[in-house]
Amino acid sequence: MMDEHRKFIRFNCLLLGKARLQNRSIENAEVKNFSRKGMLLTLPDSNGNIRGGVEVRLYIPGKILPVYISGKIIWNQSVNNHSEIGVELGQADRNRKSEIMDHVYSVWKRRKQNEKYGPIRLQRDH
């Protein structure tokens, strides 16, 4: 695996979306983790030799409109029948990054609370 040189924590998540590369659009794109500066993007049926820029339309649970974000492909590797792509996010996307970070942080926080206290159980009054 790669050495960790990141300044910001990565939050594991699963966000579905669509990706647009230089020469094609890809349905069923997934973001597996997200940070202030980057994300791990997974694309199905890709050859692992992907370069340049990428634009991603992400669907955040509970939001009506998708969030658009773009960045530069830093690395990629082929894993089974898909490509994992490290993306450095663009500076112009500050508000969009904040919207995504709010979601992934809230999911992370709930997971941590569940680990510490167990899942929240709602009881009915009889």
Give domain status of residue 3, yes or no.
Answer: no
Whole-model pTM above 0.85? no
Beta strands in the chain (DSSP E): 11-20, 25-34, 38-44, 53-59, 67-79, 82-89
Give domain status of residue 66, yes or no.
Answer: yes
CA atoms of 101 and 104, how far apart (whole Å): 5
Q: 72 pLDDT band (50/70/90 cuts)?
A: very high
Q: What CATH number is attached to the domain comprising 86?
A: 2.40.10.220
Local structure of 123: helix, strand or coil? coil
Q: Is pLDDT at 7 greater than 80 in this prediction?
A: no
Give domain status of residue 126, yes or no.
Answer: no
How big is the CA angle at 116 (ends 110 and 118), to the nearest 5 degrees?
A: 75
For residue 45, what are the domain limits? Answer: 11-117
Give domain status of residue 2, yes or no.
Answer: no
